[in-house]
Structures are given as structure tokens and as C-alpha cells.
Amino acid sequence: MPVGTLGSVKGVSQDVLEDLGVQILLGNTYHLYLRPGVDVVRRMGGLHGFMAWERAILTDSGGFQVFSLNELRKVSEEGVTFRSHLDGSSHFLSPEGAMEAQIGLGADIAMAFDECTEYPAEATRARASMEMTLRWAARSKKYFDEHKNEVPWKSSQVLALSSQEKRDRKRLQPSAVSRQEKQVLRSAQDDNSEKGLDGQTQALFGIVQGGMDRELRRESALRTVEIGFPGYAIGGLSVGEPRELTREIVESTLEHLPKDTPRYLMGVGTPEEIALYARMGVDMMDCVLPTRAARHGLLFTSEGRVSIKQARYAEDRGPLDPACSCGVCRRYSRAYLRHLYSANELLAQVLNTVHNLHFYLSTMRSVRESMRSAL
Ligand SMILES: [Zn+2]
């Protein structure tokens, strides 16, 4: 899942994301809660309507970002008091508040509010944190079940339809427009009645914590499954621990999560890591790495990492990655990309991001294909 922190994957528009084959992206509740605010997004038809994105979206609970504020937060059983990184204003986020926000944002998948245990943590601290995450998971689920019908999906479908209509209008001859429009409208109405759109709700996923302790992870997994969710995430990793430890904890946690529900590893990783974890049984991952690295001129290629700012590329006529089929590699030279980056052109960020996203998505496509052919 590419990360679209503020309802935008930085540097690339939604139509480019569609062309790249992005099936689902992630929005950050903390950032959207502060700006533009959940109420605005809800009134605009939820995140789908607001950002004109018809494909799937997942929102995090806001917890991870609030916990990364360090100096600006205070945790209690009830929830977390924190100060906005934007203007220092004081806010309070609880399991109930995080659910209310995520229902308002209306992503397809919402995440339970958890406490991301810091690394390193003492055994007693890791257990206390895990126990609180379990209590918060139960509170998240309770609030979600009571309020899930408030998701603003009906209006988002109307917006999605009108954007579809606009595209069709551009594409078609005038005589065909009205017939096509009628078909679009009719199929949308059918969808509504057949699938009972009004009755559909988001999916709430639980999150496993437990620090770097295998036994705590096992207990957290079993007890989270006992609460019961349609999908499970492994949280609290990639927080500064050695990569080998991340791998061990993921492996031992996966054993205790049902294979027939989605298993989501949060905040991971490099192209090598996402391939490794997918083969281990992880179904979903998100990471800012491809997009953030792109904006810093770090590109992932089949031949390894390329730091495009290096002088050695100044007159390099070759494509960024000869094995890549993305539009950037098919069209531009390394020399041009290096120039754009050195001159601080906006297009550098756009093109670099397009390539890195394509590289990540094609990494996952080839993992899926090799897993399918191994069956
Ligand atoms: Zn490329």
C-alpha cells in the first residue's frame, strides 16, 4: 500500500496511481484529523469522495503517529492527550475517538487503536502495554460495532459516479453519451440494490503488539483473535530494532494468526523485505520508503539502489532501470533525471515517485506470480 498521508500520495495524482495499478492506499488518521478535519472529509463523502479515489483505502488509527510525538503526548488508560505538531493545540484521542474519526473518513479498512510499544522496553512495560492494547482493541470493536452504519459511503458513490461520468463524456462521441450515461447510472443503481451499499460497512482490523518478546506476541495474537476481527495487523515493529529481530518476531507472530484472514505487517519495508514477508505469509504491507526515498533522489532498481544526484549520471543516456517498464524508464535518461533533481525541479519528485512505486508494485506482482505458479 502506497502511503497517502494527507489524502494524497505525495507527488502523484490519482489517475497516475490507477495507471500504476495501485489497488489500495493508506491514509493517516492523525494528519487528516488535524487537517482538513474529519468533519470536512465526512461531508465531502468520506475519503473516497473527497480525494476522488474509487479503489480501496485503509486508514491507520492515529495511534502510531501520536506515539511518535514523544514530548507532546501523555498516555492514560482512557487514551492519549497530545499536542498538534502544526499549531501546538491540545487534542485527545481514545479508542472511541479513533473509531469515530475513521468511520468519518470512511476508508474500506479501519484499524483498532493500539499503543505502539517503544523499543527497547522492559518485560513488565511490554506486558502492561500489550494488555492496554488488548483493552483498547475491545473498546475499539465495541464502538465500531455500535457506529459502523454512520460511514458516509452513499454520498461518496454519487461523487465517484459523477467523476466516472466526466471521464466517459470525454472519451465518447456525443451521440453515445446519453446511452452510456444511462448505462452507468443503471449499473450504479443495480450495485446499490444488489450489494445493499447502504448496509455495507468498513472492516475493522485488530493489531498485535507485545514488543520483541515472542511469548507476549503469541499471547497478544491469541487474545486479539479471541476478540475477533476480519483481519489482523502486526504492529510495533520497524521501531529501531535490528532487522533480524523484526523477521523473527514476524515469523513467530504469523504462526498464531489465522491464515484465512488478511495479515498485515505495518510499516515495512525495503523491496527485499516486502518480498520476504510476502513469502512468509504476510498479505498486506505499507511503507513510506518508496515515496519518501524518491523525494530524496534515492531510487530502487533491479540493479540495486541508485542515488540519482551523483555526478556519474550527468551524461548517462541510459534509462534509470533497464529492466523497468515504467513510463519514466521508457522515456527519460539518467542524465535528465539527475539534472531535474539537482535543479530542484518539481518534476524530479514526480518522476522519481512514479518509478519507485512502479518498482514496489512490480516486486509484489512478481512475488504473487511466483507464489501462484508454486501452487
Ligand atoms: Zn522505472
The Cβ-side half-sphere exposure at 15, using a 13 Å CA radius, reads 3
Taking the alpha carbons of 56, 360, 357, 296 in that order, is the dihedral positive or negative? positive
Q: Going by DSSP bridges, is the β-strand pair 284-285/298-301 parallel, antiparallel, or unpaired?
A: unpaired
Residue type, 346: L
Ligand 1 centroid – CA 12 distance (Å): 14
Distances (CA, A) of 83 to 60, 232, 277: 19, 29, 35
What is residue 48's three-state secondary structure? helix
Ligand 1 centroid – CA 350 distance (Å): 12
| Of residues 63 and 194, more confidently modeled | 63
CB under 8 Å to 15, separation ≥6 — which residues? Answer: none
Distance CA 342, CA 146 (A): 53
CB under 8 Å to 332, separation ≥6 — which residues? Answer: 319, 320, 351
Name the residue among 320, 319, 318 with its Cα closest to residue 307: 320
Model confidence, pTM = 0.89
What is the number of other CB atoms lying within 10 angstroms of the CB of residue 115?
22
The pLDDT value recorded for residue 136 is 98
Q: Would you state the cell numbers that stand for residue 126, as one nine-digit string?
A: 511490554
β-pair partners for 108 = none
Q: For residue range 48-57, list pLDDT tens digits in order.
A: 999 999 999 9
The pLDDT value recorded for residue 312 is 98
Q: Grade residue 183 by pLDDT with cuts at 50, 70 and 90.
A: very low
Residue count (the chain): 375
Point out the least confidently predicted range of 32-36, 182-186, 327-331.
Answer: 182-186
What is residue 296's three-state secondary structure? coil
What DSSP state is assigned to residue 203? E
Q: For residue range 82-127, list pLDDT tens digits in order.
A: 999 999 999 999 999 999 999 999 999 999 999 999 999 999 999 9
Express as a percent the part of the chain with pLDDT over 70. 88
Distances (CA, A) of 277 to 114, 234, 264: 22, 12, 10
**Residue in 108, 114, 286, 321 annotated catalytic:** 286
Distance CA 373, CA 375 (A): 5
Ligand 1 centroid – CA 18 distance (Å): 16
H or E segment and range at residue 366: helix 346-374
Long-range contacts of 363-368 (CB under 8 A, 24+ apart): 363/271, 363/274, 363/275, 364/274, 364/275, 364/278, 365/21, 367/274, 367/275, 367/278, 367/279, 368/278
The pLDDT value recorded for residue 63 is 87
Point out the least confidently predicted range of 19-23, 90-94, 186-190, 324-328.
Answer: 186-190
What DSSP state is assigned to residue 337? H
Ligand 1 centroid – CA 23 distance (Å): 19
108 flagged as catalytic: no
Ligand 1 centroid – CA 338 distance (Å): 14
Distance CA 62, CA 215 (A): 27
Ligand 1 centroid – CA 246 distance (Å): 29
Ligand 1 centroid – CA 370 distance (Å): 21
Report residues near ion ligand 1: CB below 5 Å: 324, 326, 328-329, 355
Distance CA 197, CA 189 (A): 10
60 flagged as catalytic: yes
**Residue in 15, 60, 87, 283 annotated catalytic:** 60
